[in-house]
């Protein structure tokens, strides 16, 4: 069986293209040369820091990473002046993670690049095709989730 033309092959090929392109976008030097994972972490912090205090353990849980991995990532972000760790009043041992102005400005640019990239992906698709594609991908994703439950 030829792999090209199968759903698996086509999704994998598109996924690889998207991942490479996104990596190029978010790791651009003008964005601080951050990795995709660091940008994802900053984006998560930006989306949640106003609603709640965020601590290293929250990021470990959200990104399913080990404590040592989170420590290295946060140290790097702190050294590059993207975050600060601020003690909380109730427990001086706890350090909440706060974005710097540099991080906020960078994330605004990153989000702009991602929006532009999404528009490029959707170029030439009608609204009906776009909706149909999303619905089809959700069905495929659910099929894969259901399969895991059956094992």
Distance, in Å, from the CA atom of 148 to the CA atom of 129, rounded to the nearest integer, reads 29
Distance, in Å, from the CA atom of 99 to the CA atom of 85, rounded to the nearest integer, reads 9
Return the percentage of the chain with pLDDT > 70, whole number.
Answer: 93
79 versus 3: the higher-pLDDT residue is 79
For 108-121, the pLDDT digits (tens) are: 999 999 999 999 99
In a domain, 61, yes or no: yes
Distance, in Å, from the CA atom of 26 to the CA atom of 24, rounded to the nearest integer, reads 6
Residues 35-61: what's their mean pLDDT?
93
In a domain, 149, yes or no: no
Concatenating the DSSP letter of every residue in 2-49 gives: -STTSHHHHHHHHHHHHHHHHHHHHT-GGGTT--HHHHHHHHHHHHHT
Using 50, 70 and 90 to split pLDDT, how confident is the model at 1?
low
Residues 28-32: what's their mean pLDDT?
82
Strands (E), 22-69: none
Please say if the pLDDT value at position 34 is more than 70.
yes
| pLDDT attached to residue 151 | 53
Bridge partners of residue 85, in order along the sequence: 97
**Is-contact 82 102, C-beta < 8 A?**
yes
**Are 25 and 55 members of one domain?**
no
| pLDDT attached to residue 91 | 84
- For residue 98, CA distances in Å to 48, 61, 79, 80, 149 come to 10, 18, 14, 14, 38
Q: What is the CATH number of the domain that holds 71?
A: 1.10.10.10
**Are 45 and 7 members of one domain?**
no
SS3 93: strand
Domain range for residue 2? 1-31
Q: What is the pTM (predicted TM-score) of this model? A: 0.75
**Are 18 and 67 members of one domain?**
no
Distance, in Å, from the CA atom of 122 to the CA atom of 101, rounded to the nearest integer, reads 32
């Amino acid at each position: 069986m030829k792999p090209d033309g199968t759903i698996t092959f086509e999704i994998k090929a598109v996924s690889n293209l998207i991942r490479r392109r996104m990596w190029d976008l978010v790791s651009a030097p003008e964005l601080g040369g951050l990795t995709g994972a660091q940008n994802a972490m900053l984006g998560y912090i930006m989306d949640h820091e106003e609603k709640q205090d965020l601590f290293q353990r929250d990021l470990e849980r959200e990104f399913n990473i080990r404590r040592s991995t989170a420590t290295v990532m946060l140290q790097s972000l702190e050294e590059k002046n993207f975050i600060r760790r601020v003690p909380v009043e109730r427990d001086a041992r706890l350090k909440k993670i706060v974005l710097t102005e540099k991080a906020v400005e960078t994330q605004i640019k990153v989000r702009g690049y991602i929006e532009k990239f999404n528009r490029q992906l959707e170029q030439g698709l009608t609204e009906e095709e776009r909706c149909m594609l999303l619905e089809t991908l959700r069905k495929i994703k659910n099929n894969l989730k259901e399969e895991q439950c059956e094992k």
